Amino acid sequence: MSLWDTSTFAKLYVPEADSALFQQHADEASELPMVARLAILEMQRVVRFKAITGDLQPGEAESVLRELREEVARGEVRVVELDGAVERELERIMRICYSQSPPLLLRTADALHLCSASVARETEIVCTDKLMRAAATLLGFTLFPPA
């Protein structure tokens, strides 16, 4: 049903001011959270950055990353692999976004999240990034949080 981008997915692991809203959305969902493989990779940077900025206690980054790996291994987080289907979808989505007038200058990482959602036949994108939300709307996804 929903694909989470990295910044919103991270809110489930590292508390932020609005984490409760996203945790509630995850808890109320009929399916487990889905992310692109890219989000799992990007979590390395997010969690380590939060550690050096003091948002996590010393040693907590490793605990968060271990928890994430374990949840993925147990199937508690669904992961869309970056495969040929995602690559083909990337070409289609970039063509759509960049052919708009004015062009919607979608970044590659954001496009990969959207491609993963499309390939997995998800209908909702969970993200807060304005550009990614604009592209998701253009592509027919619903959004959380709502506008």
Q: In the prediction, which pLDDT does 114 show?
A: 98
pLDDT surpasses 90 at 6: yes
Classify domain 6-80 by CATH number: 3.40.50.1010
Q: Using one digit for the tens of pLDDT, what is the confidence trace for 41-100?
A: 999 999 999 999 999 998 999 999 999 999 999 999 999 999 999 999 999 999 999 999
Tokens found for residue 12: 């489930």
Beta carbons of 39 and 82 less than 8 angstroms apart: no
Domain ranges of the chain: 6-80, 81-147
Question: Taking the alpha carbons of 11, 112, 128, 54 in that order, is the dihedral positive or negative?
Answer: positive
Q: What is the DSSP string of 91-122?
A: HHHHHHHHTSSS-----HHHHHHHHHHHHTT-
d(CA 98, CA 138): 11
Dihedral angle, C-alpha 82, 71, 52, 18, nearest 10 °: 90
